[in-house]
C-alpha cells in the first residue's frame, strides 16, 4: 500500500507541475490562469486533453507541437518532473503530516518562482501572498494557534531582516541590490522554517532558532554564487534572480530537517 501512496503522490506532483507551468508564465504577463485553455504559443492551437498529459505528451510528440511542429521547451517537462520528484521525496521523508503539507507548499512555490523569476525577473505578489497565507492556515489547522502565531512572527522577522539588507545593499551599491519580491518572499521562508523548529518568543533559549533564518540566506548565497560568477564572466552577463535560490536553500534545509543549533553548537 505504501508504494501505491508514493506513486499517487508522484502523479499528483506531475499534474500540479503542469498547472504551475501555466501559473508561472501567465501571472507575470497579466493573463488569466483559467481562461483560455492551454494553447501552443507559436500557432495558438488549443491543446486537447491527450496533449496535456504531464511528461508523456511531450515524449510521445517528440517535444514538438502536434499541429505546427514547433519545438516545445524542455522547461515544461522539467518543471513537471521536478514537482513530482519533490512531492515524492517529501512524502518519503514526512509521510502524511503537517511537515509534508508545508514541504509541498515550498516545492510548489519553488517551481513557480523558477519559471517567473528566471523568465521575467518577477515573483508575483499574488503567488507570495497565497503561499504565505496557506502556510499559516495549514499550521493553524494541523499545529495549533501557538505554532501559527510564532510562524507569523518569525515570518515578519525575516521580512524586516531582508528589508534591512536591501536598504544597506542599495546604499552601498548605489543601485537596486535586491528585488522587492525577494524581500516579501522571506516572510514565507520564515513561516515554513518555523514549522520545523518553532521559536518560542517567550523563552530566550528558543531564540537560537532564529539563526536558521540567517543560515538559510547564507546557503542561498552559496548556491547562487557559482551561477552569478559564471554569468558575470560570460558574454551574456544577464541578471541572476535571487528568489529561486532562496527557495532552493529552503527546500534543502526543510527536507534534511537542518537545525543550525544542533548542527553547529
Residues 6+ apart with CB under 8 A from 213: 154, 157, 158, 161, 186, 189, 190, 193
**Residue 202 φ/ψ, nearest 5 degrees:** -105, 0
Average pLDDT over the chain, rounded to an integer: 87
* Look-up of cell digits 509521510: 95
* Confidence (pLDDT) at 88: 97
Better-scored residue on pLDDT, 136 or 60? 136
User: For 204-212, what is the mean pLDDT?
Assistant: 73
Is residue 56 over pLDDT 90? no
When pLDDT is cut at 50, 70 and 90, the band that residue 261 belongs to is: low
Helix intervals (H) in 27-144: 56-60, 75-94, 98-120, 125-143
Is residue 202 over pLDDT 70? no
Better-scored residue on pLDDT, 229 or 136? 136
* Confidence (pLDDT) at 232: 73
Q: Which candidate, 217, 234, 223, places its Cα nearest to that of 182?
A: 217
Residue 256 exposure: Cα atoms within 13 Å on the Cβ side:
13
DSSP-based three-state secondary structure for 200: coil
pLDDT tens readout for residues 226-242: 988 887 777 666 778 89
* Confidence (pLDDT) at 254: 95
Dist CA 94 CA 89 (whole Å): 9
When pLDDT is cut at 50, 70 and 90, the band that residue 183 belongs to is: very high
Is residue 168 over pLDDT 90? no
When pLDDT is cut at 50, 70 and 90, the band that residue 48 belongs to is: confident
Contact 139, 152 (CB under 8 A): no
When pLDDT is cut at 50, 70 and 90, the band that residue 265 belongs to is: low
When pLDDT is cut at 50, 70 and 90, the band that residue 177 belongs to is: low
Instruction: Of 8-12, 44-48, 69-73, 255-259, give the range with the top mean pLDDT.
Output: 8-12
DSSP per-residue string spanning 103-116: HHHHHHHHHHHHHH
When pLDDT is cut at 50, 70 and 90, the band that residue 145 belongs to is: very high
Q: Compute the chain's Rg from CA coordinates.
A: 20
Better-scored residue on pLDDT, 259 or 256? 256
Delimit the domains of the chain by residue range.
1-96, 123-265
Q: Which candidate, 93, 116, 143, places its Cα nearest to that of 21?
A: 116
Contact 198, 151 (CB under 8 A): yes
User: For 186-203, what is the mean pLDDT?
Assistant: 87
pLDDT tens readout for residues 71-126: 878 889 999 999 999 999 999 999 999 999 999 999 999 999 999 998 888 999 99
Contact 105, 192 (CB under 8 A): yes
Amino acid at each position: 500500500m505504501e508504494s501505491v501512496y508514493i506513486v499517487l503522490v508522484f502523479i499528483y506532483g506531475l499534474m500540479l507541475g503542469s498547472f504551475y507551468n501555466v501559473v508561472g508564465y501567465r501571472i507575470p504577463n497579466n493573463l488569466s490562469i483559467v481562461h483560455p485553455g492551454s494553447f501552443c504559443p507559436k500557432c495558438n492551437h488549443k491543446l486537447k486533453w491527450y496533449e496535456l498529459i504531464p511528461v508523456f505528451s511531450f515524449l510521445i510528440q517528440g517535444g514538438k507541437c502536434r499541429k505546427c511542429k514547433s519545438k516545445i521547451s524542455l522547461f515544461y517537462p522539467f518543471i513537471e518532473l521536478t514537482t513530482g520528484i519533490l512531492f515524492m521525496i517529501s512524502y518519503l521523508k514526512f509521510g502524511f503530516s503537517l511537515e509534508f503539507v508545508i514541504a509541498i507548499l515550498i516545492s510548489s512555490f519553488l517551481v513557480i518562482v523558477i519559471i517567473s523569476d528566471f523568465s521575467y525577473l518577477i515573483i508575483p505578489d499574488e503567488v507570495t501572498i497565497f503561499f504565505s497565507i496557506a502556510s499559516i492556515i495549514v499550521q493553524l489547522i494541523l499545529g495549533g494557534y501557538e505554532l501559527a502565531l510564532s510562524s507569523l512572527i518569525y515570518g515578519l522577522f525575516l521580512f524586516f531582516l531582508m528589508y534591512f539588507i536591501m536598504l544597506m545593499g542599495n546604499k552601498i551599491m548605489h543601485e537596486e541590490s535586491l528585488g522587492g519580491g525577494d524581500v516579501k518572499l522571506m516572510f514565507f521562508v520564515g513561516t515554513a522554517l518555523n514549522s520545523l523548529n518553532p521559536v518560542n518568543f517567550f523563552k530566550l533559549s528558543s531564540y537560537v532558532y532564529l539563526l536558521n533564518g540567517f543560515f538559510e540566506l547564507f546557503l542561498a548565497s552559496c548556491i547562487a554564487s557559482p551561477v552569478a560568477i559564471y554569468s558575470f564572466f560570460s558574454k551574456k552577463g544577464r541578471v541572476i534572480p535571487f528568489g529561486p535560490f532562496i527557495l532552493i536553500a529552503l527546500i534543502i534545509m526543510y527536507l534534511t530537517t537542518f537545525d543550525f543549533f544542533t548542527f553547529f553548537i
